[in-house]
Structure 1
């Protein structure tokens, strides 16, 4: 199953994390641009592995397990390295904390409900949240240094990324509350029948 292309693409997102952190740590315009491109490429693999899995019917338990883990590791590592190197302008450390806490909350809910054979469906709003979140991280990884490298000094890249992260955090609060209410609704219910699990490439809830 490790050799299935969707799983290889998922594993590549995890493998890209140390390189992403190293590029940000260099703190040079070229490395910031490379970190942004690497993050974008990782995001594309997230979409691509799901598309391939569906077209080839290559769904597996390994893929279902690894896909959300890879997404959360990539997001968490990006937020932490940006915070560690002071790359979160406009007090955007606070939305970063909100996003990380929400990821932990939803992961905990999913783990509990999985034991009761209940799934949390991915909502349309959660997909919007994921889009703004990934877009914000890509822009913040690029930073103002990349704008300078491209002779776009007039473009406030860091500010744009921070505003996008605040919007992602707002959506995070709304969707997190929805998932919490849904999860609590099932706590005292008898275990349901097996629910279909999410395959590779679906948007992170």
Structure 2
């Protein structure tokens, strides 16, 4: 049985579209249904959702996870080049962290997968950066303490959020936590550059100070989250 061409709802001939428009054609293989001596042509219409458009925010989120191996590899590149590559990768991840949420809200494609992946990607990236900088002694001495505090807090809050999600209790992000995140990201950025920065910019000193600020605020936000969560841990 031959296939008919359909364009804008009109049946076209075998040589092309109906001539009324040249939008994309749906080629369907109709089947005849005998009904009171008449042949009825039925066509199945298929709607294709704009899959890629809807997945852009999630792809940006996942790109932060894919950046982690490259960030780790940058520590094994000797000289200032490795520092700047690590910083560039971390900065790229920070940009995607802004745009994935912005695009998801503006395009109205906020998804459960995105809500699940976004905090995980952030925590994995921060954890990898802190652990590698401690291992390569870009974070050393007492500056290791706020790094440990930040790591412990992230693990505690993640576990708390998971438990509260099971009982349908939200744990919203506080304004103080956003300031903590800002100080933490800036600290990691300066420390990734480290001694590769220009002489006029004491990146290590600035990074250490910001890391301590983030660590102190981390204790405060961790206490707030824990106090809120304990009310529902009966």
How well do the aligned residues superpose, as a CA RMSD in angstroms? 1.3
Distance 1:27 1:109 in 2: 40
Q: CA deviation at 1:27?
A: 3.4
Match status 1:87 vs 2:133: no
CA gap of 1:179–1:65, structure 2 versus 1, over 3 A, is same
* Residue of structure 2 equivalent to 1:65: 116
| Matched position secondary structure for 1:53 | helix
Gaps of 5+ in 2: 1-50
Structure scoring higher RCO (CA < 8 A, sep ≥ 6) equals 1
- Structure 1 or 2, whichever has the larger Rg, is 2
Taking the TM superposition and a 5 Å limit, the aligned residue runs for 1:1-205 are 4-89=55-140, 91-145=142-196, 147=197, 152-188=198-234
Q: What's the CA shift string for 1:72-104, capped at 9, x where partnerless?
A: 000000000000101114521110000000000
| Matched position secondary structure for 2:75 | helix
Q: What's the CA shift string for 1:114-170, capped at 9, x where partnerless?
A: 11110101100000000000110011001112x1xxxx2243211110110000000
Question: Do the aligned residues in 1 keep the contact of 2:134 with 2:140 (CA within 8 Å)?
Answer: no
Residue-pair matches, total: 183
Normalising by structure 2, we get a TM-score of 0.76
Larger strand proportion of the pair: 2
Larger helix proportion of the pair: 1
Distance 2:174 2:110 in 1: 21
Gaps of 5+ in 1: 189-205
